[in-house]
Structure 1
Amino acid sequence: MPDNAEDLNGAMRAAVFLLSLGEDAAANVLKHMEPREVQSVGRAMAELNTVSSDNLSNVIQDFLQTLSTESAVGNNPASYVRSTLNRALGETKGTRMANRILQGKDFKGMDTLKWMDAESVAMILKHEHPQICAIVLSALDGDHAAEVLSFMPVEGIPDIMMRVANLDQIHPQALAELDDLLQRQVVEASPVPPEKVEGKRIAADIIGLLDSNVEAEVLDRITEEDEVMGNEIRDLMFIFDNLLALTDRHMQRLLQEEEISPDKLVIALKGASEEMKTKITTNMSSRASEALLEDLELKGPVRLSEVEDVQKEIIQVALRLSTDGEIALGGKGGEEYV
């Protein structure tokens, strides 16, 4: 979406305005439009990802300006605006928006909260006085306000809701001061929740794409500094399905190790893909393969944690053989053999 309202085309302006009305009111407007207009505006609404408070304010101001210059409105555009918005939004919300438009109020703080996710709004309000919380929640749509409350301490909700119920009139000056406060909070508090980053998995992916010699050195250095972290990264780098990259000869070599008993293979294959089962059984003797498949079919449920532990044991054996040069794991960062 363009940063400046001047760059918005007609469909985008209509989309911004309709989104500000809420679903029911927007639906009532759309049903009076031609199908092609609905398609155009609907496409614009779907493409909107964020709407700045400045763009929203400018679109509404343009709406007022258009109304005031249309001959159909007559000599009292203010009355027309109030009547239209009251019918579209209901008396309470319509009056609030009409007052903001006609009085030239630009409540950027309040507007910003309306476009923010509920958890971020709750982070702003959690340290505010219950009366401020009540006023802010009264300005939000009901479902948005309820979701905000779901992120706030339960013990404080009854007091806030009693204050909402007792709201009658809010002095314009007090509302303006509150809006200034909220605008500073939005700018200074950085309320957006921190993004969760799986650092170890990212490191594993990056290291796995390095040259094999560099990869080994990096892993060894990390393990020297922090053994637990090093092992966790290795576990993420080499998963059981990586064994599919083994050549048949190297798979046969792996299965010769005493640590990989038939009982362990049965447990490991309980959580494996059909491709992995085929990879292993085709590299065993016919008798061993038939016995393994029969045991696997008869084996009852196994805890996922047990399956993962046994798979890790087999991976460790494969890593040891790879380090000794007896097999080539290939896959990410692995050196090709010819």
Structure 2
Amino acid sequence: MAEAAADQQQEAKAELPNKKKALSGVERAAVLLLSLGEQDAAEVMKHLGPKEVQGLGQTMAQLGGITREQVSDVLSEFVETVDSQTALGVEADDYIRNVLTKALGEDKADSLVDRILLGKGSKGLESLRWMEPRAVAEMIRVEHPQIIAIVLSFLEDDQSAEVLSMLPEQVRTDVTLRIATLDGIQPNALHELDEIFERQFAGGNTSNLKSANMGGIKKAADILNFVDSNVETGVLDNINDVDPELSQNIQDLMFVFDNLADIDDRSIQALLREVPSDTLITALKGSEDAVKDKVFKNMSKRAGEMLKDDLEAKGPVRLSDVEEAQKEILGIARRMAEAGDITLGGKGDQYV
């Protein structure tokens, strides 16, 4: 009895440091919203984009082990921010950027800030982010491929990938080509796109709109990262028939499951902590030996041996199940990379 009590005390002490760990930006935002109460929190979230709402909601649901001291620190930081900054007497853009960065952290705030500052008044396009991909696909299916390319460049990569997958095969290729070669759109042109959207994208020549932040080879690669393998292969093969160099450039920027063998040890260790064991086992059934070696290398000897035993005992697995598991892990990896938790190195990265 005494030994059991001592063990419990030791375990409780061992858990204390975890409760005092530094909170991430999104965790601080979640603590703040939970402290505000339902009505006020709802009012705040009305002003966030769908991805931010989803991320905050998930964090709020999973948040646990927060101490009174941490809550007090979050609230104190928020009060200090309000006291030291207002929208009066300073540039509104700077104020928005600083407040959102403090609330959400730099990585998550960047995309939201860009959308707010570059897309003021773009309510029409912004509403597409909240729609189901199938509804978006139906809405833009008959429009000019240039308009479709601009819309998909505006949406989040995973949403764009689902919309692209629902388009006819030839349209997919044409749209992806246009995304890859799109120079961008001037911020003030987003107002015109809103008007086009309100007229159900009935026309307009957008080929002369040029700026950064939208489109490009990287955007095309990011979207294709999320589509099914057969769609990805079809699009890249068709692009290769038209422009082999562009097809290769897109592939060089894509991050696929086998590229996990190339990321650093710290990143793979952080990723493995977030991946369910069943998903990992299924995904590794169809992976290259280099990926398996990378995973085993970054696990404890005992955990590695258990994983090898589980792989052998798993038996044959359907290719579709393997691809789905790998896709899930890649989704986790990309989210962690966007949050700055890990670093992904694509095929095009070279080190000397």
**TM-score in same-fold range (> 0.5):** no
TM-score in terms of structure 2 length: 0.34
Task: Say which one has the larger Rg.
Answer: 1
**How does the TM-score come out when normalised to structure 1?**
0.36
